[in-house]
Amino acid sequence: MAARMTRQRTAVVEALDELADFRSAQQLHETLRARGESVGLATVYRALQALADASEVDVLRAEDGESLYRRCARREHHHHLVCRHCGRTVEIDGPTVEAWASKVAAAQGFDDIEHTIELWGTCADCRASAATK
Amino acid sequence: MAARMTRQRTAVVEALDELADFRSAQQLHETLRARGESVGLATVYRALQALADASEVDVLRAEDGESLYRRCARREHHHHLVCRHCGRTVEIDGPTVEAWASKVAAAQGFDDIEHTIELWGTCADCRASAATK
DNA sequence: ATCAGGCGTGAGAATCATTCTCATGAACTC
DNA sequence: GAGTTCATGAGAATGATTCTCACGCCTGAT
Ligand SMILES: [Mn+2]
Ligand SMILES: [Mn+2]
Ligand SMILES: [Zn+2]
Ligand SMILES: [Zn+2]
């Protein structure tokens, strides 16, 4: 059952570890290629999917629908504040919101409840570079 | 500037008004075709986009990435509890969450803040029909 | 009501992220 | 080290959404 340890899988994990921000599969593929650690695009997708299934990476959808991946510091459930320009991310805890979400959903007779809570904004750096123009 | 009133646009709005649940553009297209009010798929997409821009419909992304549309009762900002099987929707108010979201984001120096807060589950009806099998 | 010009329409092509196919090569077991 | 199994990758396929552009329907002015 354990995933086989290959050069490609290792390269993907290492790239994620060095990156602090949410990145798309395509971006990661390009990053790996630039480093010479070339990995097939399909393999990047497969590695990311496996990592997501194992809860080793978090996945979220950008506004344009593209999936973004990140190796977060915490393994526990949490949420994110993400810069929509550069992907910079702050991990967020929301005990208040957690309680609110499950209460509201249960009150309506819904089961198998999940919630999507993500905050998007422009980080201080991206605001600064936009002002420069 | 005002959008021209055409048979197609009217048909899309009417279909949305009769539907209580979130539906995809493809589903709406099929519904219209079934009624004989046939409308081109590209036109359905354009009508929905125009309505979304005018805040006449809410848009959200299903877990598979497909966009879902709904004409909600309230025009004001709100969130949703949606059945992932049939699209059944309950509109949700979250004053607590609103305050929490803007405070958290501002504390991190982020601007132009938006939030995505959606609840997904299985509604009572869909749970019942799943049990039947 | 008519007319002209502009905007909306729709069939099909194009786009683009993601997934699939399948022949080949690299891990792990013994 | 040999054999079995699973991962890889190039390219094709998929599927939602957008684009193209020739044609026709709204609409405001006459
Ligand atoms: Mn949560
Ligand atoms: Mn809100
Ligand atoms: Zn930024
Ligand atoms: Zn349901």
Strand partners for B83 = B121
Nearest nucleotide to A42 (CA to C1') is: D9
Taking an 8 Å cut-off on Cβ atoms, the answer to whether A116 and B120 are in contact is yes
The per-residue pLDDT for B1 is 58
By three-state DSSP, how is residue A100 classified?
helix
CA distance A88 to A121: 10
Taking an 8 Å cut-off on Cβ atoms, the answer to whether B110 and A123 are in contact is yes
Which residues have C-beta within 8 Å of that of residue B108, sequence separation ≥ 6? Answer: A81, A90
Taking an 8 Å cut-off on Cβ atoms, the answer to whether B100 and A94 are in contact is yes
Whole-number Å distance, alpha carbon A15 to ligand 4 midpoint, is: 40
Give yes or no for A113 touching B (CB within 8 A). yes
Taking an 8 Å cut-off on Cβ atoms, the answer to whether B110 and A121 are in contact is yes
Nearest CA in chain B to A67: B65
CA distance B33 to A40: 42
* Residue A29 scores a pLDDT above 70: yes
Average pLDDT, chain A: 94
pTM of the model: 0.92
Positions of strand D less than 7 angstroms from a protein CB: 6-11, 16-20, 25-27
CA distance B96 to B5: 40
Number of neighbouring beta carbons within 10 Å of residue A108: 16
> Shortest CA distance to A69 belongs to which of A116, A125, A32, A17?
A17
- Can you give the pLDDT of all 133 residues of chain B as single tens digits? 578 999 999 999 999 999 999 999 999 999 999 999 999 999 999 999 999 999 999 999 999 999 999 999 999 999 999 999 999 999 998 888 898 998 998 899 999 999 999 999 999 999 998 877 6
Q: State the nearest residue by CA to the C1' of D17.
A: B45
Whole-number Å distance, alpha carbon B12 to ligand 4 midpoint, is: 23
The per-residue pLDDT for A1 is 59
pLDDT band per the 50, 70, 90 thresholds, residue A18: very high
The per-residue pLDDT for B3 is 84
The per-residue pLDDT for A57 is 97
